[in-house]
Structure 1
Amino acid sequence: MKALAWLLLCAVLLGGCGVQTQTADGKRVKIGIMLSDVGLGDQSFSDAAFLGLSKARDELNIQFDYREISETGDYEKGLVELVKQDNDLVVGLGFMVQESLEKVAKMYPEQAFVLIDSVSDVPNVVSLTFKEEEGSFLIGALAGLKTKSNKLGFIGGMDAPVIHKFGAGFKQGVQTVNPQAQIVEQIAGDFGSAEKGASIAAAMIQSGVDVLYPAAGLTGVGALKEAEKQGKLAFGVDSDQFFVAEKAVVSSMMKHIDMAIYLIAETLVKDGKLSAKQMELGLQEDGVGLAEVRVAALSDKEKERLASLKQDIISGKIRVNKK
């Protein structure tokens, strides 16, 4: 299944996969990336993107550089610096980069850009988004099967469409397997505060929540650790966050940002450009999915239920809410 999913993803981006270590003119491909607001060490979004570029460097012989807002002070400055380095492609990671990236893209119309997690109409910007709602549906179904109090909590980092996709899919998944369950939601207003995440999680647990699903970057890490501290279950996002809180994290909603960025690099190496204007990756393309299930054992019946729900989403029998 993994091999088939990889071929499907290749078809979305390339129309076929192939690898060479340099472009037609003999130059190494250069990619610059403006990381999301927390930057490296978020144990989530930025770290996964960096992993994908590191893999492309090692296996495809590309060059890459990156900027963090903690160094540049704002997204625009970092993006301009990357453009001036003559990168073949400049990537903006996360919806919060969009306004600055579009401004810089209009300033440099000959430069190719990729915006991850939002959609842009600017001609020289390729948009790459994920169907977070599909993976979150499966997390919700798993959470709905494992809750004992029938009260679950969702913590979002910011009030933004991509975060609402996480929440909507989670709620639908919970209610599909456990209609009696109640979902408590809170927007933290911050992706970078582990302390705030822990505080929100503690309040939810005090109210009776026994399963937490934070989509909130480093703020979510704080929530995961608080769940572990209080002996509750939790689910990670973007990358496998089991090692953040090994006694609490049952699974994680994987956004294969590393794989997608690697494939973008491979496209540039092979073709010298990106042909698609917009790409959206879900369960069918293996753009999202579940990490290994740990901590809470699944019965054979529960495993079959999750597998069936996944296939129903892929086939279109289940349409997952985005908001």
Structure 2
Amino acid sequence: MQIRVLALLLLCVAFIGGCGAQETIEEKKTVKIGIMLSDVGLGDQSFSDAAFQGLIKARDELDIQFDYREISETGDYEKGIADLVKQGNNFVVGLGFMVQESLEKVAKQYPDQQFVLIDSVSEAANIVSLTFKEEEGSFLIGALAGLKTKSNKLGFIGGMDVPLIHKFGAGFKQGAEAVNPKAQVAVEYAEDFGSVEKGASIARKMIQSGVDAVYPAAGLTGVGALKEAETNGKLAFGVDSDQFFAAEKAVVSSMLKHIDKAIYLICESMVKDGKLSDKHIELGLKENGVGLAEVRILTLSDKEKEQLDKLTNDIVSGTIKVNVK
């Protein structure tokens, strides 16, 4: 009889212990994240690659799992986003303004699913918008270009003629003029984020017209412009990530758009709280969402460094308002 009672007690203890273990497992349930990459996808040496690095860091440090889709494999954004929802991800990210329409369609079909739209603002109830103040970082790039140009002719190459890209160009122009009233900025839109050849062709024409520094905000198309500047012995400025290694003899600095940090931030929030509470997250110089990469190739004088530091502080404090168009 005593043996039976002991066995029953042990069974109860095991059952209670098992419940506790199950609860512990549930508490440590891994967060799963899906991301629909922007049009060029991995290998763009810019936006998508930077976002992917943020996911890798979150996987290694926060123990998340992630899956991704590229339009080259899905054929369209909507299918890729829907696939990621069906995979059971806790939230699904649409990377880039071109994803917005498709993301909103899928979000409407899955009202209980959490989504994140990067680089545009959505009014959908289940979509969190994350944007950057690209104009602020571009202002500093423009200031650098304005200080170092010899011809007073600069070039801006946009991937598309859309409001997001206008922010890069407007900030660049304002920054150049702030330090060099004689600076002129030629502007051209490639209408393509994935053509190295087109970027090179546009940069070549600008250089032939007297431009001695180019700033492309055009993904892989922009890489073509950087390389063309290098070929012709001109200056260039990268975008989104540090693009020095794309053209080491030309790239003075890059406008860093910390998409990797933003991706990590939302992953961290999801792991901690199980949801994304903010409806719109906007990151600028003050929030360390944008900034400058290391200045290479050229040496800045102490006076020039002081100028850049003051401009940065004035933007952060609100003394300088940077144009968005």
Letter in 2 for 1:267: S
Q: Compute the displacement of 1:24 (Å).
A: 6.6
The share of aligned pairs that are identical, in percent, is 79
Separation in 1, partners of 2:193, 2:180: 30
Instruction: Flag structure 2 segments of 5+ consecutive residues without an equivalent.
Output: 1-23
4+ residue runs over 4 A deviation:
none
For 1:92, what is the secondary structure of its paired residue?
A: strand
User: Could you tell me which of 175, 178, 198 is aligned with 1:176?
Assistant: 178
Higher CA-based Rg? 2
For 1:191, what is the secondary structure of its paired residue?
A: coil
Equivalent pairs counted in the alignment come to 302
Give the structure 1 partner of residue 67 of structure 2: 65
User: Could you tell me which of 265, 279, 286 is aligned with 2:267?
Assistant: 265
Is 1:254 equivalent to 2:256 in the alignment?
yes
Q: 1:1-323 to 2 correspondence within 5 Å? A: 25-323=27-325
Q: Compute the displacement of 1:187 (Å).
A: 0.4
The 1:142–1:24 alpha-carbon spacing in structure 2 relative to 1, beyond 3 Å, is farther
Letter in 1 for 2:74: T
Separation in 1, partners of 2:193, 2:312: 29
The 1:316–1:23 alpha-carbon spacing in structure 2 relative to 1, beyond 3 Å, is farther
TM-score normalized by structure 2? 0.92
Q: Encode CA deviations 1:194-243: one digit per residue, 9 max, x unaligned.
A: 00000000000000000000000000000000000000000000000000
Letter in 2 for 1:125: I
Higher relative contact order (CA 8 A, sep 6+): 1
Q: Encode CA deviations 1:259-290: one digit per residue, 9 max, x unaligned.
A: 01001101111110011000100000000000
Between structures 1 and 2, the one with greater helix share: 2
Separation in 2, partners of 1:153, 1:23: 56
Q: 1:32, 1:90 within 8 Å by CA — same for their partners in 2?
A: yes
Separation in 2, partners of 1:213, 1:193: 16
Instruction: Flag structure 1 segments of 5+ consecutive residues without an equivalent.
Output: 1-21
For 2:315, what is the secondary structure of its paired residue?
A: helix
Q: 1:235, 1:249 within 8 Å by CA — same for their partners in 2?
A: yes
Separation in 2, partners of 1:264, 1:279: 10
Separation in 1, partners of 2:31, 2:241: 26
Q: 1:23, 1:29 within 8 Å by CA — same for their partners in 2?
A: no
Separation in 1, partners of 2:34, 2:209: 45
Q: 1:23, 1:269 within 8 Å by CA — same for their partners in 2?
A: no
Q: Compute the displacement of 1:25 (Å).
A: 3.1
For 2:27, what is the secondary structure of its paired residue?
A: coil
For 2:40, what is the secondary structure of its paired residue?
A: coil
Q: 1:34, 1:67 within 8 Å by CA — same for their partners in 2?
A: yes
Separation in 1, partners of 2:115, 2:290: 23
Separation in 2, partners of 1:30, 1:153: 42
Q: 1:23, 1:270 within 8 Å by CA — same for their partners in 2?
A: no
